[in-house]
Amino acid sequence: MISVGIIGGSGYTGKKLVQYCSQHLFVENFEVYGFTKAGETLYNLFPDLMNVVSNKVINSIEDLSYEHDLYFIALPHGEALKFVPQLIESGKKVIDLSGDYRLNNEALYFEWYKKEHTSAELLNNKTYGLADFYGSSDYNSNLIANPGCYPTSILLALLPLAKYYSNEILSVSSVSYSGTSGAGKSANQDLLLSEMDGNVRAYNVNAHRHQPEILQELKKNGFKSPFSFTTHLLPAAVGIYSTTVVHLVNDLNENEITSLYNVVYKDSPFVRVRNTPPELKWVTGTNFCDINISIKGNCAVITSAIDNLIKGASGQAIQNMNKIFGWEESTGLLVKGGNNVQVY
């Protein structure tokens, strides 16, 4: 049994971490720490959680306790830098859900996040927690960088092909669509229902900060081809749908590639290789990533769908906690019989 601290529990992902921790078999207790919401109760902040979780008071982040075994950090980019070094120095396990430790190259932070990294010595000593692709032997650090939502949807869909057919790949183009919750809870006129209803638009074209993260993990697994990545907003609250087009030197056999994906993910309880392109509604509210591979000649089209707040954030963070402590990977995420725990 462990004690958990959730730093930044008032946002969308923080709320889901609270829900998952409250139902986890091996989490004995947890505390929530925040800035502006300190002093409020969880029931005031999340009325729908009444009688679902304990009505804890959110502690001030200024009173952060170092008594917990593991800390989830669900803060805006740049804020985790203020807490991670001391937590790691104190021997604590940390799962950071921001982008602060995902990249290995210090210089890329200033280029893509417009921030100087203040603890770059930790970048190469962390584990990149793409839980379904990397095995338990890769989890050799107390610091886990929880992957971004777009990278999760694209990397799980592309890595098996990139790893085993890197010499065959000519180019890759990924186009992704996200629900507006990916932007967090802060008020933004562009994300109002009256602006997004019936609307779709591209954003951060050729400038999305998740691009170097995706390329980093692809190259780590042998990828060496041109890659493009374009993001769009959907008129929906949650979910990410990605379509990745891969052009290859030679024709591939669809059945062989689908079999490869089934082998790569045979031990993952949360990747489902589908016979047809997935639908977003199949995965929202769950920790699943659904993938379909369609190949015609030398062109592969890979579609994938996830819930951006769960598989792309809190659910994968719980998976990473389970892997750190050697627990069954689905603990707290799947119920007996294999039905996914729904978290709203």
Q: Which residues carry out catalysis? A: 149
Q: What are the beta bridge partners of residue 32? A: 6
Quote the CA–CA distance of 21 and 4 in Å, as a whole number. Answer: 8
117 burial via Cβ count (<10 Å: 0-12, 13-18, 19+) = buried
40 burial via Cβ count (<10 Å: 0-12, 13-18, 19+) = middle
115: enclosing H helix or E strand: none
The first and second tokens of residue 159, run together, are 């890595």
Quote the CA–CA distance of 344 and 48 in Å, as a whole number. Answer: 9
What sign has the CA pseudo-torsion 245, 251, 257, 259? positive
Is-contact 130 147, C-beta < 8 A? yes
